[in-house]
């Protein structure tokens, strides 16, 4: 039988995930600089939570 290896252990996947996280952090920083911290909890966090489910 074909054993499914954990996709997250794939170096390419690791790099993509790392890149995504970096971009998310960058967006969060930009939002805070432009709008202050409230924008994060009001808009980004609900979206982020729904993505992580």
Q: What is the DSSP string of 1-53?
A: -PPPPPGGGSHHHHHHHHHHHHHHHHHHHHHHHHH-THHIIIIIHHHHHHHH-
Closest C-alpha among 19, 44, 18 to residue 31: 44
Token look-up 């489910």 returns: 53
pLDDT for res 20: 92
Residue 3 lies in a domain: no
Asked whether the whole model's pTM tops 0.85, one would answer: no
Residue 1 lies in a domain: no
Residue 20 lies in a domain: yes
Question: What's the structural domain count of the chain?
Answer: 1
Cβ contact 28:16 at 8 Å: no
pLDDT in tens, 17-44: 999 999 989 988 887 787 776 766 666 6
pLDDT band at 4 (very low <50, low <70, confident <90, very high): low
**Residue 5 reports pLDDT greater than 80:** no
């Amino acid at each position: 039988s074909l054993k499914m290896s954990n996709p997250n252990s794939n170096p390419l996947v690791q790099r993509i995930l790392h890149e995504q996280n970096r971009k998310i952090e960058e967006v969060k920083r930009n939002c805070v600089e432009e709008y202050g911290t409230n924008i994060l909890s009001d808009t980004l966090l609900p979206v982020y939570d729904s993505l992580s489910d």
